[in-house]
Structure 1
Amino acid sequence: MVPHEYTWIFALGIVTAICDAYGIGANDVANSFASSVSSGSLTLLQACVVATFTEFLGAFLLGSSTSETIKGGILSVDRFVDQPELLMLGMLCALVGSASWVIFASKKGYPVSTTHSIVGAIIGVGIAAFGGRAIKWGYSGVAKIITSWFVSPVVAGVVTAIIYLPTRYFVLESPNSLKRGIRAIPIYFFCTALIGSFYIIYKAVPKDKSGGLSTGAVVGISFGVAAGVTAFAWFFFVPWLKRRVIGKENIRWYHLPVIHFVRYTPMPAPPPPPPVEAESPRDLEGGSSDAEKAGMHAKSGDGSTTADSDDQQVDGDGAPKGPWYTAAARQAKHLVLRGVMKDVRNLDNERLADVHGAAKKFDDDTEYLFSFLQIITACLASFAHGSNDVANAAGPVSAIYDIWKTGRVDVGGKSPVPEWVLAMAGGAIVLGLVTLGYHVMRRLGNGVTYLSPSRGFSAELGTSLTVLTASQIGLPVSTTHCITGAIAAIGLCNGNLRATNWKTLGWCFVSWIVTLPVAGLIAGLLFAFASNAPNKLI
């Protein structure tokens, strides 16, 4: 194969990689923010805005090492040395199989694993091409990834329980929970900042003999960052909380850095209730009702009728009058914001009333303290997701690009992932969350157990720690597994099995099992069809 041959495969690979990344955002990113939105710490719109930055930066800055693992750690690419174009075709079919299943599952609200999907698709391609011998089944390949599927939810659940149980017994259940929570907030800020800064710096900064940072230097910088964040929390955030929560003052978030200079500002008085109009004598005598009045149109002298709406008028022939751009603007707004204006909290769901009722509730003001921490952990979890799961789309398309550019197969599977691939995949991930992520987010979160800010904070911090650790060592764990295991652990920490929706967890488990063969079957059949098609002789 000569370089820059089979450009059509490269072009289709870019399109399908974007579709796969779109599905990742619609499915897995919803997992990162499901607990924050379900607990009320963030609205769905706010979560999408935050994810726009954290997901993209995580994918762009830290997504390269896991991309290499996906690209070269599953399929024995040395079998394609004599026909590099077949590996290009195989990665294209893998992206089609993965994207098809993930987007379908996201539309239906199934929280599947996008890592499962791309791994199953690549396995299907390998079996269709050379049989089972082409797949690295040992611990250096598939076995290592499968092990992470079982280990990651358990580890995330254990870490989450370790974080949440001390919080529950020493803070939330204390008679003076609010005061104790305010005292403990700087400690939580220290732990969160230490974990986040350590893993971000350790992975983002080069570590080599020519001038990279040593592990000791990374630890020292991380402690310095955590100490600075803790000092800010102690001198500014804690006084802000005392005035906001205990003093019930009307202070805003932008008062935080100048809280010591803000005068006392009491909460405004609630508005008076609207006056109740007395019924007119005609109403009492059986005249036109309010509904009838609302449905009637006033008729003008020229025979035209006008509707009640100020921006939509109708003439005598029924044709709309008024500015045409008003309806167009409303339609455009509906299309753009449709995915972020949904109610995904499930608080009024009658089927979940027993599950939510079995969970113990704590003081609202104390729970409010953890809302700010949960926003930080949500950003950290999203950043971790972007760094880890971008590999599912970036790895295969990077292999296609490398072969198209060089005309040969990189047997080691360690060629660098281009930055434009990471940027493209990061942007598509964000778009998937904004337009389709609400389906999965509605099923998780409060759909598994009742989540409050303290519970969500613990689940997200446990998930972040698990995913970032896996991302650093190049192990592509599933964010879906981690956050599901963390949320399930929160439900079990209630001490009541009825506080966990086992039916939803069962469906999650079934979707994990089904994902691997379905994606593999789609990709394998497509590759078998394309690679064995008749070829026109020139």
Structure 2
Amino acid sequence: MNPHDFTWIFALGIVGSICDAFGIGANDVANSFASSVSSGSLTLAQACIIAVFTEFLGAFLLGSNTAETIKGGILSVDLFVPQPELLMLGMLCALVGSAAWVIFASKKGIPVSTTHSIVGAIMGVGIAAFGGGAIQWGYSGVAKIITSWFVSPVAAGIVTSIIYLPTRYIILENPNSLERGIKAIPVYFFFTSLIGAFYIIYKGAPGTEAAKMSIGVVIGISVGVACVVTAFSWVFFVKWLRRRVIGKENIRWYHLPVVHFVKYRPAPEPVVEQSTEVSSELESGGEVDGKMHTGSKNLSDEVDCEVDTDAQLNETDGASKYSPAAIAKRLKYYALRGVKKDVRNLNNKKLADVHEAARKFNDDTEYLFSFLQIITACLASFSHGSNDVANAAGPIASIYDIWKTAKVDVSGKAPVPMWILAMAGVAIDVGLLTFGYHVMRKLGNGVTYLSPSRGFSAELGTSLTVLTASKIGLPVSTTHCITGAIAAIGLCNGNVRALNWKMLGWCFLSWIITLPIAGLTAGLLFAFGSNAPNKFF
């Protein structure tokens, strides 16, 4: 082939990459925020707003300059050197196969590994092109992925338990839990900010000096950052919490930096008849009068609400149905539909026994951990955007490189232009905003009852596990880790009925079938395309 041949593959590859990134947002990003939303630390809308920025910035700023086009050395790239266009077609089929499975799984609310999905798709392409001998079946390839099905959830579960159990026995179960919690908050801020700073610095922005720092320098800077954050929390945040939670003052978040100078602000008088706005806030588990509430709508009520809304949208008659105002109203409804869902399942009758078996603690003490959980959710989202964007960006980068040079880079890596990272980052955000609620609903309180302290422990345990394992060479998956962390939280209740074992079974089954389904889809597409009749002139 010559440079710029097979432009149609390049064009379709862009579409496939966007679809795959959309699936990543709907599945991977959704399960990153599931515990924050399910515990009530964030509303679904707030989580989406935060993720829009953290995911995009992680993908755009810290997305690697080079992405592994053949993840984990699964396929021997040199087999495609005689016909570079076949690798272009293979990467296109891999993107389509991966995107199709991830989007389908997201629709069903099943958390799957998007990394394993693209790997399975590439395996299918390799088998269809050159047979099973083209695949690395040993521990350096497929066996390592299978190992991660067991290592990821177990490792994350152990780390999460180590974080949560001391919190439960030392703070939550103490008769004076609120006072103990407020005193312990700076310590939690220290370790949370230490882990976050270490990860971001150690990851390093590609091409900057941060990527060349020694481990000692990274640790030193991380400790310094953690000390500053801890000092701020000790001086300002603890005082703010005492006034807001213990004193019940009407003090707002923007008073935090000047909390020592703000005069006494009494809480507003309780209103007998709640306004529609406040009632709506309570139903969605939002914040009213400075306190988190855990109310939520029943899923059946949500369905009825959606039907009523659709009826209202269609109640316009004649030409008014197509007026600019009516069209704008309809567009707004469908644009925001994905962030107005109930994903907490607190009144779900099928999960009532699971939630009832979980131990409940003081609401005010739990509220203390909401702020920490928001930080860990942002960290998980930022790191996810910087890492997993390669699942969608890597294959299209390979297609683009071959399209420009008409050669196969045998290193298995290709430079990733910034426009590809930006494109994938935007598609990830759209996937979360429009489709992410499916996975959040199933993975959150659908597995076990989650509160802010539980959700914080699960997210911090997942981040710490992924960070540590990736640096020492253990095969882990973020999706598998957060699932294992949430399961461990359920087991920490000391009651096996506090876990939805059926949901966990479906999760594990989805991990197993991801490789063959994505691989079969991509392999069949490649076999069809590569063996199609050609028209010669």
Cα distance in 2 between the residues matched to 1:404 and 1:475: 35
Is 1:66–1:476's contact at 8 Å kept on the other side of the alignment? Answer: no
Match of 1:174 in 2: 174
Please state how far the C-alpha of 1:453 moved relative to its aligned partner. Answer: 0.1
What are the superposed Cα offsets for residues 305-353 of structure 1, whole Å, 9 maximum, x if unpaired?
xxxxx99998xxx757799443223212101100000000000001101
- Quick one: which amino acid aligns to residue 510 of structure 1? L
Going from structure 1 to structure 2, the CA distance change for 1:130 and 1:138 (only over 3 Å counts) comes to same
Q: Which residue of 2 aligns with 1:278?
A: none
Tell me, in whole angstroms, the C-alpha distance in 2 between the residues paired with 1:207 and 1:392: 21
Aligned twin of 1:59: 59
- Change beyond 3 A, Cα 1:117–1:169: same
CA contact (8 A) 1:205 1:212 kept: no
Counterpart position of 1:358: 357
**TM superposition shift of 1:419:** 2.2
Distance 1:179 1:416, change over 3 A: same
List aligned pairs for 1:129-528, cutoff 5 A.
129-205=129-205, 212-273=212-273, 319=318, 324-470=323-469, 477-528=476-527
Unaligned runs of 5+ in 2: 275-311
CA-CA distance at 1:392 after TM superposition: 1.4
Task: Measure how far apart 1:414 and its partner are.
Answer: 2.9
Distance 2:320 2:52 in 1: 39
- 1:115: Cα distance to partner? 1.7
Could you tell me how far apart the structure 2 residues matched to 1:313 and 1:149 are?
Answer: 51
Instruction: Give the superposition deviation at 1:147.
Output: 2.4
User: CA offset at residue 508 of structure 1?
Assistant: 0.8
Match of 1:264, SS state, is: coil
Q: Name the CA shift for 1:404/1:459 in 2 (closer, same or farther; >3 Å).
A: same
CA shift digits 1:187-213 (9 cap, x unpaired): 000000000100101112469999932
Q: Is residue 157–residue 485 contact of structure 2 (8 Å, CA) maintained in 1? A: yes
SS at match of 2:415: coil
Identify if the C-alpha distance between structure 1 residues 161 and 225 changes in structure 2 by more than 3 Å, giving closer, same or farther. same
Q: Note closer, same or farther for the CA distance 1:181–1:251 as it changes in structure 2 (3 Å cut).
A: same
CA contact (8 A) 2:70 2:412 kept: no
Deviation at 1:409, TM superposition (A): 0.9
Is the Cα–Cα contact under 8 Å of residues 116 and 145 in structure 2 kept in the other structure? Answer: no
Q: 1:485-531: CA deviations, max 9, x gaps?
A: 00000001111000001010001111111221111111001100110
Distance of 1:188 and 1:437 partners within structure 2: 29
Which stretch has the larger CA shift, 203-212 or 141-150?
203-212
Percentage of pairs with the same residue: 77
CA contact (8 A) 1:71 1:399 kept: no
Q: What CA distance in whole angstroms lies between the structure 1 residues aligned with 2:36 and 2:339?
A: 14
Counterpart amino acid of 2:377? Answer: A
Distance 2:532 2:162 in 1: 56
Q: Distance in 1 between matches of 2:69 and 2:320?
A: 61
The answer (yes or no) to whether the contact 1:70–1:391 under 8 Å persists in 2 is no
**What whole-Å deviation, never above 9, does each CA across 1:94-125 have from its counterpart, x for those lacking one?**
11101111111111222222122111111100
The 1:135–1:241 alpha-carbon spacing in structure 2 relative to 1, beyond 3 Å, is same
> Are residues 445 and 215 of structure 1, via their aligned partners in 2, closer, same or farther at CA, if it must alter by over 3 Å?
same
**CA 1:407–1:184: 2 relative to 1, 3 Å:** same
| Moved segments of 4+, more than 4 Å | 69-72, 205-211, 310-314, 318-323, 470-476
| Separation in 1, partners of 2:499, 2:65 | 36
- The 2-side partners of 1:199 and 1:94 are apart by 30
Corresponding residue number in structure 2 for 1:90: 90
Paired residues of 2:448 and 2:500 also in contact (CA < 8 A): yes
Equivalent position of 1:103 in the other structure: 103
Output one character per residue of 1:224-249: Cα deviation in whole Å (capped at 9) or x when no partner: 11011001100110000000000000
In 1, Cα distance between equivalents of 2:5 and 2:251: 63
Query: What is the alpha-carbon distance in structure 2 between the residues aligned to residue 380 and residue 184 of structure 1?
Result: 21
Q: Which residue of 1 aligns with 2:2?
A: 2
Kindly provide the CA deviation profile for residues 404-456 of structure 1, in whole angstroms up to 9, marking residues without a partner as x: 12211111113332222222111111100000010111111100000000000
Q: How far 1:365 moved relative to its partner? A: 0.4
Q: Distance in 1 between matches of 2:269 and 2:31?
A: 39
Looking at structure 1, the residues matched to 313 and 348 of structure 2 have their Cα atoms a distance apart, in angstroms, of: 36
TM-score by length of 2: 0.89
Asked if 2 retains the 8 angstrom alpha-carbon contact of 1:145 and 1:476, the reply is: yes
Between stretches 475-484 and 65-74, larger displacement belongs to 65-74
In structure 2, the CA distance between the partners of 1:79 and 1:408, relative to structure 1 (3 Å rule), is same
Q: Which amino acid aligns with 1:50?
A: I
CA contact (8 A) 1:161 1:489 kept: yes
Would the alpha carbon gap of residues 127 and 234 (structure 1) be closer, same or farther in structure 2, given more than 3 Å must change?
Answer: same
Bigger CA drift: 222-231 or 209-218? 209-218
In structure 2, distance between residues paired with 1:211 and 1:13:
31
- Report the Cα offset of residue 136 of structure 1: 1.8
| Counterpart Cα distance in 2 of 1:353 and 1:9 | 50
- The answer as to whether partners of 1:98 and 1:519 remain within 8 angstroms in 2 is yes
- In 1, Cα distance between the equivalents of 2:462 and 2:114? 16
Whether the 8 Å CA contact 2:70–2:122 is kept in 1: the answer is no
CA contact (8 A) 2:125 2:522 kept: yes
Q: Is the 8 A contact 1:312 1:321 kept in 2?
A: no
